[in-house]
Amino acid sequence: MESTLTARDRVGVQDFVLLENYTSEAAFIENLRRRFGENLIYTYIGSVLVSVNPNKDLEIYSKAHMERYRGVSFYEISPHIYAVSDNTYRAMRTERRDQCILISGESGAGKTEASKKILQYYATTCPVADRMSTLRDCLLQSNPVLEAFGNAKTLHNDNSSRFGKYMDVQFDFRGAPIGGHILNYLLEKSRVVHQNHGERNFHIFYQLLEGGEQDLLSKLGLERNAQKYQYLVKVCVCACVLMSCSSQGCCPRVSSINDKNDWRTVRKALTVIGFHEDEVEDLLNIIASVLHLGNTQFGEGKNGENQITTEPQLKYLSKMISPLSFEQAVAARDALAKAVYGRAFTWLVVKINQSLAFKDDVYNSSKGSSSVIGLLDIYGFEVFQHNSFEQFCINYCNEKLQQLFIELTLKSEQEEYEAEGITWEPVKYFDNKIICDLVEEKHKGLISILDEECLRPGEPSDISFLEKLEDTLGGHAHFVTHKLANAKTRKAVSREEFKLIHYAGEVNYSVNGFLDKNKDLLYRNLKEFDMSPLCFPLFDEALVRHQVKYLGLMENLRVRRAGFAYRRHYETFLQRYKSLCPGTWPNWQGRLADGVATLVQHLGYKPEEYKLGKTKIFIRFPKTLFSTEDSLEARRPALVLTLQTSWRGYRERAKYLRIRHAVIQSAWRGMKSRQRARRRRHAVDIIRKFIKGFIYRHYERCPENEYFLDHQRFSFLMMLFRNSPKNVLDKSWPIPPPSLTEASEHLCRLCMQNMMHAYCRRIQPEWKKQMEQKVVASQIFKDQKDSYPQSVPKLFVASRLNNEEFNLKVIQTLGNDKVKYGIEVTKYDRRGYKARPRLLLLTSSFAMLVAEAKLKQRIDYAALKSISVSSLSDGFMVLHVPSEDNKQKSDVVLQCDHLIEVVTKLATMADKKIKVNMSQDSIKFAVAQGKEGVIDFTSGPELKVAKGKKGHLLVTAPKLNP
């Protein structure tokens, strides 16, 4: 868009979105006319490309033009079919998604040429390995073959595609084409046997007769004269053989077509694609047989039966056709010709697809996934003097494409506005859904009625089908027949026709042949395609206006202009217009959105003229943009002058620097030499001082060694700085020189103290409490208890019992005392050492043993004299308590898991130095006043507890650390 803003007065606007009077159809067509007059045949409507057929060769499709559009932003340069091709290709590679280019327009608009230009662009610009060049050639050579067998001269176009084509081009992960596939549909087989006056049959018939070698024609039984073949020219046969007059195209030669040259092109293309000579011979035999079949004539036999009266080699057909009437025989002949040609065309496409198919032996598919670009070249909307089932299918397809086109345009516009946070203004447009429903609605649409009539028992006919339509669709605003029409319009519709009022205009369809042709299900795969680039014919204003209307270009433009005429990313807008504002020139350093806001405020934009989205600026009126562009044009001379001034200044300064360099070069060398001499003398002095200091290093500090000693100190301190310990566990320390031994010891101590203080400040309260308990455990059990090393890495828990495990009566008994720690233990009583399960609960002032809800024993910390444990890993401990009064029971023997944790908790909570006795063989304890019990400890493979013969308690425990 930006590339031709300054030339808009001469060539109009290259994007219709910038059209000031965008609601005027006349202004729309005038913009097309002005650009067409300057050979600018391409114009955008946003992302849609509008093309006007110039009907002459333009020098805009060279390899240099392809390179110009390669990798360039869509709006950066003027509109072109190459811009659409490149944008689609780059979207496929960057987004990793399949893409599709859809081409539509009336006959003669240039659809086939546009598809060829797209394929040529990909074949030329995409990376292709040497071994893939054959595929590229097949891709390009498929066009002349398909055109020869599928294109024909019509009233609108000398090279009109009479079939629909959808081509997939497959690309690998590098963007190189590796395969392709063609889907053909809706071949106009009726053209084989009948053409309107002024039209021709398919090109291949004329190319064969005009360009084929004489030996080939003789072998096929053909003559180099198209006038002799009924399917190619107008023929009248006298009534003596009962042959009716048939009006054909009568155009064996066309000035714009060179059939002889085209024949050579097709023969070469067949070879490149990979057809063998015998396959080509079979194909040409089929083409010749169709011509011979068209010349087959019928006459009446002796008994009144119908007979073939021509060519003895066709007499074998007489047995099949003889029971038929004359009309039936002619219809059977024509049906056979159409079927043969149709199957030949299908086989031809299959053969081309085989040559284009992706082959594993050509490319290793494991290197990456592939993507596809689809190319749809479809019939345009058709209105002829006589319209039949073929035109109905074609026009219905275009009706669906128009519906999808409008929906997708509205959807994409709305999504962009929503993404940028801009309010969407709805646009009223004609919704052709009513026409699509008329044709496709289930059970009561035109197609459903046609299918039902084909399947109906009895003898359905085209007229009965028309009557069924009148009964079902009568009263619909877009459906008219002779019976349903009023007196004013009845003359325009015959009794064998119905009229559909399409989006593009009114079309009369003859029902003759509808039922027979509907049996070809090939027509039913046309519903699911979309539409994009649009192509226009010669600049005939009436014809252009008709196409502008039926293609919905004005609605598309109104949708694009409903909100804002121009939208660009902040970076693009700021880069183009930043020179118009002192605040943004020469460079803007802040956020792009702020830079654009600064720029438009300086330019005096009114609030209703623009909106700022998340990533783009939206300008509502073209005049606002044009005014900005005019300001840029007025600013350019000053910019050029500034650049020229800067360049002259730079050039003169460079000249001066060269002169100065030449004049002062000798002085500069002298200065550098003197600097090097001073550095050398300084280095020598330093080395001398260092050597002398090393010699006097063991002497007291004196002038001879002070430099060396200072250097030693500095080096040691720098080494200490780089290699000092990083944590309290790191005991490494650099070895100091003899003169710094004492200082090093002080520094080491200070460093360690600082790390200790820093470590202590970082310790959390919970971890500090844990460490304090670990210290107590270390003081008691280190090197004393066999199980101590295994307990070191394990954290002490706050309690081994949950509050839910305490009986409510026990909690009530405690009152204000809170349980700080609890654990399950086993108590061995003093009579018989019977094991009894208990809960050991520790509060802040006493410990107690609990059995279910009953408090069995309370031990005040103040009364606890000492604790005895063994040096093994047995888990036994004896709590020594005084037994002076009868109320206090004797010493308590307990066994539990986590013995070290329990003893540490007791020692910590008692808040005093409790003596812990460590015994290797036995522990004595008071059973009652004057009585004593003994626990004997021995090592063994596993923990065992038993009563000995002497009344002692025997405990066997494994030794963990031998």
Q: Which tens digit of pLDDT belongs to each residue from 47-96?
A: 788 998 888 888 899 999 999 988 887 767 788 999 899 988 888 887 77
End-to-end CA distance of the chain: 89
Average of pLDDT values for 832-838? Answer: 89
Amino acid at site 482: H
Residue pLDDT, tens place only, 915-954 = 888 888 899 888 876 788 889 999 888 889 888 888 888 9
Other Cβ atoms closer than 10 A to 761: 7
Tell which residue, 476, 558, 557, 543, has the closest CA to residue 504. 543
DSSP 3-state of 492: helix
Angle of CA points 942, 943, 947, to nearest 5°: 130
Reported as a single tens digit per residue, the pLDDT across 863-891 is 888 899 998 989 999 999 876 654 556 78
Q: What is the rounded distance in angstroms from the CA atom of residue 202 to the CA atom of residue 868?
A: 115
Per the confidence metrics, is the pTM higher than 0.95?
Answer: no
Take residue 507 and report the two structure tokens written for it: 């079309």
In angstroms, the CA 332 to CA 294 distance is 11
* Side chain identity at residue 713, one-letter code: R
For range 276-281, the mean pLDDT: 90
Q: Is residue 311 over pLDDT 80?
A: no
The CA distances from residue 709 to 555, 691, 701, 704, 714, in Å, are 93, 12, 8, 10, 9
Stretch (H or E) spanning 159: none
**CATH code, residues 766-957:** 2.30.29.30
Residues that constitute the known binding site for ATP: 105-112
For the domain spanning 564-633, the CATH number is 3.30.70.1590
Mean pLDDT, rounded, for 720-724:
86
d(CA 417, CA 846): 76
Q: Give the span between the Cα atoms of 581 and 564, in whole angstroms.
A: 23
Q: Which of 556, 610, 426 is nearest to 46 (CA)?
A: 556
Is the distance from CB of 857 to CB of 849 less than 8 angstroms?
yes
CATH no. for 392-529: 1.20.58.530
pLDDT in the model for residue 676: 92
Helices (H), 489-567: 514-518, 541-550, 553-563
Residue 246 has pLDDT above 60, yes or no: no
- pLDDT bracket for residue 838 (50, 70, 90): very high
Dist CA 493 CA 495 (whole Å): 7
pLDDT value at 364 more than 60: no
Q: Where are the domains of the chain?
A: 392-529, 564-633, 686-761, 766-957
Cα-based distances in Å from 74 to 2, 14, 48, 82, 740? 11, 12, 11, 10, 75
Do the beta carbons of residue 892 and residue 849 sit within 8 Å? yes
Tell me if residue 790 falls in helix, strand or coil.
helix
Give pLDDT, residue 213: 92
| CA-to-CA separations, 181 to 163, 346, 364, 372, in angstroms, rounded | 16, 13, 19, 10
Q: Which residues are annotated as a binding site?
A: 105-112
Instruction: Inform me whether the pLDDT recorded for 728 exceeds 90.
Output: no
